[in-house]
Structure 1
Amino acid sequence: MVLPAILRSEVGFPDGGDFLARVENGVIILEPHKKALERVRNLVRQYAPAEEGVSVADELIVERHAEAARE
């Protein structure tokens, strides 16, 4: 899909950048991947707030190592 440069610059889409397309109430919404990821992370934080100083990725790595050690 080609978006005119004036539209891309107005909404902050980089030239040749990737975006997410979705339909809401019959309207097509285009969102840069970075903004979509930020939106999803904010949604996740509402349901699983991170403890200060604790990385979910680090917790997952520790769990995986523990599982591997048990096998």
Structure 2
Amino acid sequence: MEHEQKVRISEGGRIVIPAEFRKQLGVEIGDDLIIRLENGELRLLTKEQAIRHAQQLTLQYLKKDRSLSGELIAERRGEAYE
């Protein structure tokens, strides 16, 4: 679902994210967001959205039967016994 609202850039390049948008994103004052310039458009992502995006990118390059978490656990156990 797309929503659009006009905002103005104020001093220092600041923009205000409308309350309705913040509510729908589940972000509150003081939360960190990731800002991305993509195909000439600005995109705002929550940290959770950015993490999911990174996970999706990573998964497309992994073999289906490979477990990175399993490999990390095995590696750490090996280091613990050294």
Identity of aligned residues (%): 33
Q: TM-score, normalized by length of structure 1?
A: 0.65
Residue in structure 1 matched with residue 74 of structure 2 by the alignment: 62
Structure 1 pair 55–48 and aligned structure 2 pair: CA distance change class (3 A): closer
Gaps of 5+ in 1: none
Map Cα deviations across residues 17-66 of structure 1 (whole Å, 9 max, x no partner).
Answer: 32210111222111111111111111111111453xx7422311322443
2:62 paired residue number: 48
Calculate the TM-score normalised by the size of structure 2: 0.59
Count of residue correspondences: 67
Q: Which has the higher contact order (CA 8 A, sep 6+)?
A: 1
Return structure 1 stretches of 4+ with deviation > 3 angstroms: 67-70
**RMSD across aligned positions (CA):** 2.5
